[in-house]
Amino acid sequence: MKILLATKNAGKIREMNRMFGGSGIEFIGLDTLEDVPEVVEDGRTYHENAMKKAMTYYNVASMPTLAEDSGLEVDALDGAPGIYSARFAGENATDGMNNEKLLSLLKGIPEEKRTGRFVSVLCLVVDGTPFFFEGEVRGRILDHPRGESGFGYDPLFVPEGYSLTFAELGEEVKNRISHRAEAMRKLKDFLKEQFGKQ
C-alpha cells in the first residue's frame, strides 16, 4: 500500500519508511507529483494545518495521503514557537536560523525553567475521510546545540529520562521515543486494524 506523505523533506520520508519497514506500506513524497500546489499553513492548530495539507494533496493525487504538523512548545515562551516552529525565524528560515532565534529568546533562562514538549499531529485522509493521530514527548532545551543527526530543533532538545539530545541519540532511538513515533504507533495500529497492514 502506498501512502502519499505531504512533504518534500527527504529526511522525513526516510524516517517514515524506516519506521514502517517490513509493514507493506511505502511512503512517497510530493516530489513524485506534478504541479504540486503550495499549501498555506494558516490554521490556528496543528490539527487544522495537518488536515488542510492532507486534504489538498489527497484531492490532487487521489490516493491515501498523510500530513503532519508538529512543533516545539517551550514553557518559558508560553508555548512558542508551536505551530510556527518551522518558520520561527521567518518564512524561509533554515533549521540553524530557527535554533538561533530560540536560543536568543531563552538567553538567561535557568536550566530548570527550560522545559517544553515536542507535539506531532498526523492527519491521514482515506477515501476523503480524515483520521487524526497525536503524540508528544517532554524534555528540556539546552543553551547550545549538540549532535549531528536529526533535523529541526533536535540538537537543542533533551527528552525526559535522557542526557543526550535527539540529534545525539540517533535516528533509531529517536524513532522509538519521539512525539512522531508515538503518533506513528497509533497510525500503525489503525492501518493494521483497517487494512491488515503491520
CA distance 44 to 140: 25
C-alpha cell at 46: 496543528
In Å, how far are 124, 152, 183 from 162, measured between CA atoms? 31, 19, 20
Residue 69 is a catalytic residue: yes
Distance CA 63, CA 149 (A): 31
Residue 7 vs residues 16, 50, 113, 121, 190: alpha-carbon distances, Å: 11, 11, 33, 14, 21
Candidate list 31, 35, 42, 69, residue with the active-site label: 69
Helix (H) or strand (E) holding 146: none
Closest to 118 measured CA to CA, from 92, 88, 138: 138
How do strand 26-28 and strand 2-5 relate by DSSP bridges? parallel
Given a contact cutoff of 8 angstroms between Cβ atoms, the answer to whether 163 and 103 are in contact is no
Q: Which residues are catalytic?
A: 69
